[in-house]
């Protein structure tokens, strides 16, 4: 609910501060007093396009702010929470125009983009007929309004979820198909490469082992020479093994004479003798096993060539060929299994599509029934508003399959004709200003119980009518005010008398300037204002009596 509006330096308005209450608020005043200026100022706070010509002459900036009290679950509160702006039951929309052509927007004292300001404003206030393409004049909103009138809000949420699930399953299926097609294109190469690796049968770290063995065969002669010299040093008559054995025999002969003092030495020589014997045997074994084999060396070189050639083909190190073999085998196995996976994804997509189609068809049928009810209800409202020759219709057009969306299989648009025989068209194109306002009033009265809570503003909805029609307009505005805060600018005394709050806009001259001001009227002042609207410049007692009757009704 709009609770406060502050305006500074907007055309005729130097400084203005207004408080608003619940129900229907009427704004009256003579032509040119500044009623439309007030709406232009409010439009700035709601995110309308900046018009720097609104800055009052002699001022370098204009400022407008609108304060709202909202429920924490209001759509605007949710929007701001997602944007990181705390509201705690109150939202203040502000706009500043500077003479240099700069526009600054803020919400709750935090700078915001004009898009966010406008999005938030559209959730809080609807100014009927004022801003092209917004409110009920926005065809994109009609399908949602019809769904609310039909009580399909929950079903529409489910339909959107089904749509997302279907599109997700379709995308997964498509990715899998493309991946399989790419894999099939490489299948021949994959099988040939795997056959080569099967034939090679590379072992893990095989290159490293072969290089070690090759080095042994290449250096076999040098190793044999070294082993021969070592054997001579160990096993000859004067070698280390014989010398150690003789030294051990000499000590053993005298060990008993030394009273144990040679025991440690004997033990050490014994261990040395044993180690030398072991080394001698190992030397003989090594000499037997390390004999050069030219044939084996050639085999090793051939094997290394095969490993390295295939490693270059697969762009890896030779020691990685065994792992590459396993990778390609697993890839081929997945390829063989992918047909089954693809069938499962296709079935998943089909089931998601069937679920969406089923619910979409049910919603389409409900929309058709709801549209007929809505058309009848709006039509009943038109005759009392002096639009008895007009016709209102909810147009539901099926869409081609490639244009289906989360909203369903059709598009919805409210259309009307104002004269018999004329084809229906968009309301804002076939109706004059006064007719448009009354069309929107009738539609809003019918939809008000199902649409989200917004402050509604009607600009001269009573234009061109009077008497019983004006009274009917006033009654419907009062009815709307009982459901949601409603404001209207009016020249009709019948409408003005229906208001719960009455604001009068007037202008006066000061220091060679014309300024607008707004005052809230009490009961006596309201009587005078309604009487003025009835009688004109000269207020008579008869006009006052008629005004009191209107206010009492």
Name the pTM for this structure. 0.64
pLDDT band per the 50, 70, 90 thresholds, residue 501: very high
Residue 142 and residue 29 in one domain: yes
pLDDT at 435: 76
In this structure, what is the dihedral angle of CA atoms 404, 410, 411, 417, given to the nearest 10 degrees? 160
For 7, the domain range is 2-151+386-520
Domain presence at residue 527: no
Grouping H, G, I as helix, E, B as strand and the rest as coil, residue 395 is: strand
Residue 109 and residue 258 in one domain: no
pLDDT band per the 50, 70, 90 thresholds, residue 62: very high
Averaged confidence pLDDT in the chain: 84
Residue 236 and residue 328 in one domain: yes
Residue 236 and residue 279 in one domain: yes
pLDDT at 188: 73
Last residue of a domain, one of 338, 363, 398: 338
pLDDT digits (tens, 9 = 90+) for 452-478: 678 988 887 777 777 888 888 899 899
Helix-helix angle 240-254:263-289, to 10 degrees: 160
Residue 19 and residue 104 in one domain: yes
Nearest residue to 43 via CA among 71, 23, 62, 21: 62
Contact 433, 426 (CB under 8 A): no
Q: Residues with Cβ < 8 Å from 181, sequence gap 6 or more? A: none
Residues 553, 546: Cα–Cα separation, whole Å: 11
Residue 141 and residue 188 in one domain: no
Segment 491-516 shows an average pLDDT of 83
162 has pLDDT over 70: yes
Domain presence at residue 263: yes
Higher pLDDT, 143 or 508: 143
pLDDT band per the 50, 70, 90 thresholds, residue 285: low
pLDDT band per the 50, 70, 90 thresholds, residue 371: very high
Residue 249 and residue 132 in one domain: no
pLDDT digits (tens, 9 = 90+) for 390-434: 899 999 999 999 999 999 999 999 998 888 878 888 876 776 666
Listed range (80-84, 259-263, 376-380) with the worst mean pLDDT:
259-263
pLDDT band per the 50, 70, 90 thresholds, residue 251: confident
Domain count, the chain: 2
Contact 214, 297 (CB under 8 A): yes
* Residue 228: how many other CB atoms lie within 10 Å: 12
């Amino acid at each position: 609910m709009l609770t406060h509006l502050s305006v500074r330096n907007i055309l005729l308005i130097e400084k203005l501060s207004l408080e608003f209450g619940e129900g229907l608020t009427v704004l009256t005043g003579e032509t040119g007093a500044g009623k439309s200026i007030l709406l232009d100022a409010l439009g700035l706070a709601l995110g309308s396009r900046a018009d720097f010509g609104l800055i009052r002459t002699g001022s370098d900036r204009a400022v407008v702010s609108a304060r709202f009290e909202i429920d924490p679950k209001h759509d605007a509160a949710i929007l701001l929470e997602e944007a990181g702006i705390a509201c705690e039951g109150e939202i203040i929309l502000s706009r500043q125009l500077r003479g240099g052509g700069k526009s600054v927007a803020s919400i709750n004292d935090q700078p915001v983009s004009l898009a966010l300001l406008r999005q938030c404003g559209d959730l809080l206030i609807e100014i009927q007929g004022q801003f092209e393409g917004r409110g009920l004049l926005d065809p994109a909103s009609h399908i949602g309004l019809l769904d609310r009138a039909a009580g399909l809000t929950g079903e529409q949420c489910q339909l959107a979820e089904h749509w997302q699930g279907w599109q997700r399953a379709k995308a997964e299926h498509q990715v899998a198909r493309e991946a399989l097609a790419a894999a099939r294109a490489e299948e021949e190469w994959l099988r040939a490469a795997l056959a080569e690796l099967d034939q090679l049968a590379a072992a893990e770290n095989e290159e490293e082992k072969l290089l070690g063995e090759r080095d042994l065969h290449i250096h076999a002669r040098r190793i044999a020479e070294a082993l021969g010299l070592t054997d001579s040093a160990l096993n000859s008559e004067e070698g280390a093994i014989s010398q150690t054995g003789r030294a051990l025999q000499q000590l053993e002969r005298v060990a008993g004479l030394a009273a144990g003092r040679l025991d440690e030495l004997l033990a050490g020589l014994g261990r040395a003798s044993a180690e030398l014997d072991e080394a001698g045997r190992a030397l003989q074994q090594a000499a037997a096993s390390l004999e050069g084999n030219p044939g084996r060396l050639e085999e090793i070189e051939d094997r290394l060539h095969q490993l390295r050639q295939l490693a270059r083909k697969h762009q890896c190190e030779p020691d990685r060929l065994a792992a590459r073999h396993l990778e390609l085998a697993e890839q081929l196995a997945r390829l063989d299994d992918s047909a089954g996976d693809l069938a499962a994804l296709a079935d998943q997509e089909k089931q998601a599509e069937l679920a969406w189609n089923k619910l979409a068809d049910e919603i389409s049928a409900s929309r058709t029934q709801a549209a007929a009810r809505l058309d009848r209800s709006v039509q009943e409202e038109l005759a009392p508003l002096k639009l008895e020759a007009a016709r209102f219709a909810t147009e539901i057009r099926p869409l081609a399959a490639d244009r289906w969306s989360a909203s369903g299989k059709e598009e919805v648009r409210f259309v009307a004709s104002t004269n018999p025989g004329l084809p229906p068209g968009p309301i804002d194109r076939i109706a004059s200003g006064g007719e448009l306002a009354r069309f929107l009033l009738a539609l809003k009265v019918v939809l008000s119980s199902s649409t989200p809570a917004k402050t509604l503003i009607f600009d001269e909805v009573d234009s061109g009518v009077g008497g019983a029609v004006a009274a009917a307009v006033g009654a419907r505005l009062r009815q709307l005010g009982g459901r949601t805060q409603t404001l209207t600018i009016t020249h009709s005394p019948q409408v003005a008398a229906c208001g719960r709050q009455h604001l009068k806009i007037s202008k006066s001259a000061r220091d060679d300037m014309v300024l607008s001001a707004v005052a809230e009227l009490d009961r006596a002042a309201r009587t005078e204002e309604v009487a003025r609207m009835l009688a004109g410049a000269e207020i008579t007692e008869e006009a006052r009596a008629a005004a009191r009757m209107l206010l009492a009704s």
